[in-house]
Chain A
Amino acid sequence: MKVALSSKPAGTAGIGMLQRSLLVIVRGARGTTMAMLGLAIMLLIWQGVVRLLDVPIYLVPAPTDVLVALYNDRALLAQNSVPTLTEAALGFLLGNTVAVLVAISFVYNRTVEDLFYPVAILIKTIPIIAIAPVLKIMLGNGIEPKVLIAALICFFPTLVNAVQGFRAVNPQLIELMHVLSATKTQVFRRVRFYAALPYAFAALKVSVTMCVLGAIVGEWIGANSGIGYLILQSMYVFDTPRLFATIIVASFMAIAGFALVAWLEARVIHWDPGENT
């Protein structure tokens, strides 16, 4: 005890955290290198097979063909990324905001949860692609149906995780708050909110990639711009290299979103959520 008391808390923690971070970086760097190597091997095999068997470019383009398309069509791809990104981002914000608000209402009121949780699950079971045409009829050809589809996709994972997170509080901490006569809102702001953050971020990392998918599906059912639109156009004219290029752009959007959320998570959650203090 004496030894622990005499050491400076900031110093010991600094060392511990540095070691942990280094470990992560070292492992991470190795992991990244191996993943890149794996990808390179796959691409080489792909390139080799396409060239050796002389596969026509409209059937399967070689990776180099895709790279060329990516470069030549860069303006077109960038231009069409804007609406898709906008729809995905708005859908992400809308779906997650509503999900968190609904989760809060569930935590505050059990009756509301009993009434509407089953409805939420019911919505979840409907394939989004099946709802898309309905939304198009209801909302027209504008940005609205795309945003709504992206929002719907984001909604469910965040709702489930937020509800779970708000409840993932040490029961003794709830007892302590009770002994302190804390109000429901105080318990929420001081405890439940923070307890839910790691759960919320797990859901956000899923939904940030899903919202891109939602926006693209939305564009498929009626749009004259966007990555989804470009995918359909490229398919109709058998411009397969460009089709592959759009896939890469869409995938890059999802990865960038994921990285952004992960970065934000590391900023916000400065404690170890798994640790029981």
Chain B
Amino acid sequence: MLRRRSTLGFFMALPLIVVLGALVVYPAGYSLYLSTLNKSMQRFVGVSNFTFLFTRDTFWMVVRQSVIFAVTAVFFKAVIGFCVAHFVHNTPTRGQRKWRGMLLVPWVIPPAMSTLAWLWLFDPSYSAFNWLLQRFGIEAIPWLGDPYWARFAVILVNVWFGAPFFMIMYLAALKSVPEQLYEAAAIDGANWWQKLWYVTLPMMRGIIAVTVLFSLIVTFANFDIVRVLTAGGPIDQTHVFATWAFKVGIEGNDIPLGACVSLFMLPILGAAAVVILRDVGRRGAEA
């Protein structure tokens, strides 16, 4: 009986396995193969593309920027998501659904579309933000023209887009924390901070780890927000791996080098996944 169920289970999962194989495994393998070819894709050159990449200042700048972008954006998404989840959790049950729905809107709109709206808000000539600033006598800000403001802009849009995901995950986790633990803490004289530190966070540790890992992977590989907002500029200072891989590989007609850039993320994200999931697994076993 068990063997029939697992065979049936396998066949039911087969369509997904085929899709994953065709759209994830095959392209990843093909990228690995491409990265070992020369620029015109006619000769095998081994790891020469990688060694060439490591000599490029722009590449190391993209590595730094990607790390700054991913870590900063994920940190703020997690903090904002955590705080907003608490607010929603503490609103009366009657109004919660409405708030949940409204707060999910940024995450539901296709990012390329919403980023276009942000692009217009940051527009050099027609920025609504600058219009408001100028009404208060403050000089217009070159949101996308200055490297530091441009980095701020892409991180802001990414946080705006991604915070609802954290909010909804943390809200679900908050609802699963037993109320008795808070009652016991209150009886012991714990204040709000102690409840948060000794009850809420430990109970949510697993979900926090998983959401941070998931978001790190997705944010590291972000393409649409940076592409639409800044296209990696100014002076390549908002490029992340995906946008630079596109620039080098597709627009620059050096597909093997573009493949190398995108593959560079793999060991970094793989290491992060191993470390975080090992911690989650260990805590699960202890529980």
Is the pairing of A and B real?
no
- Chain B residues in the interface with A (C-beta under 8 A): none
